[in-house]
Structure 1
Amino acid sequence: MKRRHARWLDAAGITEPSLRASYERCRQLHATFGRTYYLATLLLPAAKRPYVHSLYGFARHADEIVDNGDPASKAAEFDRWSERVLGDLDAGSSADPVCRALLHTIRTWDIPVGHIKAFLQSMRMDLTVTAYRTYADLQRYMYGSAAVIGLQMTPILEPVSDEAYPRAHALGEAFQLTNFIRDIAEDLDRDRIYLPLEDLEKFGVTRHAWQRRVVTPQIRELLAFEIERTRDIYAYAAGGIPLLADSSRLCIGTALVLYRGILDEVEKADYQVFDRRVSVPLATRLRVAGRAFLGDRPV
């Protein structure tokens, strides 16, 4: 474990060796798979960073089972893992390193176990549901897969008003909608469509046209519509940043700006999302984060 990472655990008062190793495993998952949000997390006080790594690491571990496991056995594997997690939550202890860190985090910050259960339910849906008829249907999925992540984070960010919670709910949705727009090709590879089918129909986009992976004028209009809706959600979510402890605002503001910037990059790429995975350039990420480190609020 690098010395600076060990200092973060020291600052959080996490001293037991096996628990420190569990948090380090979660940090590694976060650093590997969530680079943008990991960068923003560096703007939090050191004592809070391990808890954010725990929440992200747990979510990513579940994603890895659902998205990258053996197709013939991953449903059974996820069900076994999920049942162990739920049993560990009831028992209050776990032999699984990722779950051990999660348990410590939810006890430390009094995070409702119901959020974890809702997350697991949505992850299970990814194994059976390949499309969502309406936006309301998609929102029910996103509650467990994304909104509860924002709700879990909020106690760690120390809100000064309960109004921060619905804004955090919205920010989780905005992050996930951004991922859906960016990851269209990757999701198609898994036979999934995460944009509501009613939206495709509204713009005259058939499933066959979608699966051809050619950006037509109709698909451009569809993506422009989805981007505008997502920006509206970001605008509402941004109102929650002043409702957090001052020490948390730069982190969430930076994450919001960087994730929202993915939408700008999709537009700059002329909506070509089928043949590439657009991203905010590293120089831009470093510039935004650097300004935040110097105290310049991103939003």
Structure 2
Amino acid sequence: MARRIPSTPRLPRPVRAAYEHCAAVTAQQAPDLRYGVRLLPTAKRRALCSLYAFHRRVDDIAAAPLRADHKRARLRAAAQLVVDLGQGRVDSRHPDPVAVALGHAVGRYRLSHEPLEELVDAARDDLDRAGYQDWDQLGEYCRRRTGALGRLAVEVLGTRPGARDEPRAGEYVDALCTAVHLTHILRDLGRDAVHGRIALPRDEVERFGCAHALWSGSGSSDADLAGLVGYQVERARSLFAQGYALFPLLDRRGGACVAAVAGIHRRLLERIAARPTAVLRRQLDVPAPHKTLITLRGLAGHRPRQLAPHWGQD
């Protein structure tokens, strides 16, 4: 995965404008990701923002209040864009700024097309599936949705030449991204329930007697919401621990970027663990000063495992 990227001349104006559009999408829709990407060199920061903007687009299509056939048509267009990218048919004259930026990033970093296809397939899954019966189903969805984005990000960041565990980088990325996605699911439990969606494995929700509590958004005498959330927190902690093996494979700035994003989400996970039933009432978050501190510690060479003793209730 280690690659030597040649220097490039000043970007054409349409390409710069396309990257600026993707940066604005990232800043607005993924403020936590912004803490990490701003630690990167300009070219890598731009590329990661283009990847996120495409990910955001397909995700928004699946969630949009549109008829299913309209959503499928838009996802077919996204899938065709991936094909066009693979065949080199996207250039700065394309009318879509996300396509222009992504096309430039794919060419510069020789990005794999399979993860881009997985992002679209995961969005199609959102249309075809009302929920997830068990962790195997949800874990595979996370791997294809968030993990695919993470694997593309590591292709941009690159790995240290000769890193011993480089062949396992994809495995570590999938674990880390699944931990982040599961943390998002826990954060959004209340909001999703209001919209009639339960993203946790159905068999585990039923085991803890929480189906009615989540659908109604209120407590129930036989519901163990704290137990359900605690069970998922332990799973996410284990996934974070597996994913930490990625950091020795990255260079200083790439590692700092990933450490910032992972650290913010691990901090959020611990806030959820401290208030497991609060997720039904509101979305918990990490205060901005704490996010900044985590980012600075990542830049200084700290890793999430080293920061863990400082995490907990604020």
TM-score normalised to the size of structure 1? 0.88
Q: Report the 3-state secondary structure (helix = DSSP H, G, I; strand = E; otherwise coil) of the residue aligned with 2:280.
A: coil
TM-fit CA distance, 1:201: 2.4
The percentage of counterpart residues that share the same residue type is: 25
Deviating beyond 6 angstroms after TM superposition, the runs of 4 or more aligned structure 1 residues are none
> 1-side partners of 2:268 and 2:136: how far apart?
24
Distance in 2 of aligned mates of 1:134 and 1:15: 47
Q: Which stretch shifts more, 267-276 or 138-147?
A: 267-276
Counterpart secondary structure, 1:112: coil
- Residue 163 of structure 1 corresponds to 168
Report how many aligned residue pairs link the two structures.
287
Residue 240 of structure 1 aligns to a residue whose secondary structure is helix
Q: Quote how far apart the aligned CAs of 1:80 are.
A: 4.2
1:253 aligns with 2:246: no
Name the structure 2 match of 1:222. 228
Task: Indicate yes or no: 2:102 matched with 1:102.
Answer: yes
> Which among 255, 270, 275 is matched to residue 269 of structure 1?
275
Give, in whole Å, the separation in 1 of the partners of 2:248 and 2:67: 44
Asked if the contact 1:82/1:120 (under 8 Å) is kept, the reply is yes
- Rate the CA distance shift 1:250–1:13 in 2: closer, same or farther, 3 A: farther
Q: Distance in 2 between matches of 1:287 and 1:143?
A: 29
Distance 1:89 1:221 in 2: 46
Report the residue type matching 1:43 in the other structure: L
The one-letter amino acid paired with 1:103 is G
Moved more, 223-232 or 59-68: 59-68
**Deviation at residue 272 of structure 1 after TM alignment:** 1.2
Structure 2 residue matching 1:162: 3-state secondary structure = helix
Question: Does the Cα contact within 8 Å between 1:262 and 1:279 map onto a contact in 2?
Answer: yes
Aligned residue for 1:271, secondary structure, equals helix
Q: Cα distance, 1:296 vs. partner?
A: 4.5
Instruction: Say whether the 8 Å CA contact 2:172–2:242 is kept in structure 1.
Output: yes
Unpaired runs of 5+ residues, structure 1, are: 1-10
Q: Quick one: distance in 1 between partners of 2:10 and 2:69?
A: 36
Q: Give the Cα separation in 2 of the matches to 1:86 and 1:208.
A: 41
Task: Please list every run of 5 or more consecutive structure 2 residues that lacks an aligned counterpart in the other structure.
Answer: 1-6, 161-165, 305-314
Kept in 1, the 8 Å contact 2:79–2:120? The answer is no
Could you say if the C-alpha distance between residues 74 and 269 of structure 1 is closer, same or farther in structure 2, counting changes exceeding 3 Å? farther
- Work out the CA distance in 2 between the residues paired with 1:271 and 1:124: 31
Q: Confirm or deny that 1:193 pairs with 2:198.
A: yes
Q: What secondary structure is seen at the aligned counterpart in 2 of 1:214? A: coil
1:27-55 alpha-carbon deviations (Å, 9 max, x no partner): 11101011011111111223311011111
Q: Which residue is equivalent to 1:278?
A: 284
CA deviations 1:186-241 (Å, max 9, x no partner) are 32244322110111122233x32321212455111010000110011001101110
Whole-angstrom CA distance in 1 between matches of 2:116 and 2:301: 34
TM-score between the two structures when normalised by the length of structure 2: 0.84
Query: Which residue identity does 1:81 align to in structure 2?
Result: A
Contact kept in structure 2, 1:12 and 1:48, CA below 8 Å: no
Shift of 1:115: 0.8
The 1:59–1:256 alpha-carbon spacing in structure 2 relative to 1, beyond 3 Å, is same
How far off its partner does 1:292 sit? 3.7
Give the deviation of 1:114 after TM superposition.
Answer: 1.0
Question: Contact (CA 8 Å) 1:93, 1:100: kept in 2 or not?
Answer: no
Cα separation, 2, equivalents of 1:137 and 1:218? 23
**How many Å separate the matches in 1 of 2:219 and 2:293?**
31
One of 185, 210, 228 as aligned partner of 1:180: 185
Which string of whole-angstrom CA distances, capped at 9 and with x for unpartnered residues, describes residues 234-256 of structure 1? Answer: 01101110111223111111111
Q: Distance in 2 between matches of 1:12 and 1:175?
A: 33
- The equivalent of 1:3 in structure 2 is none
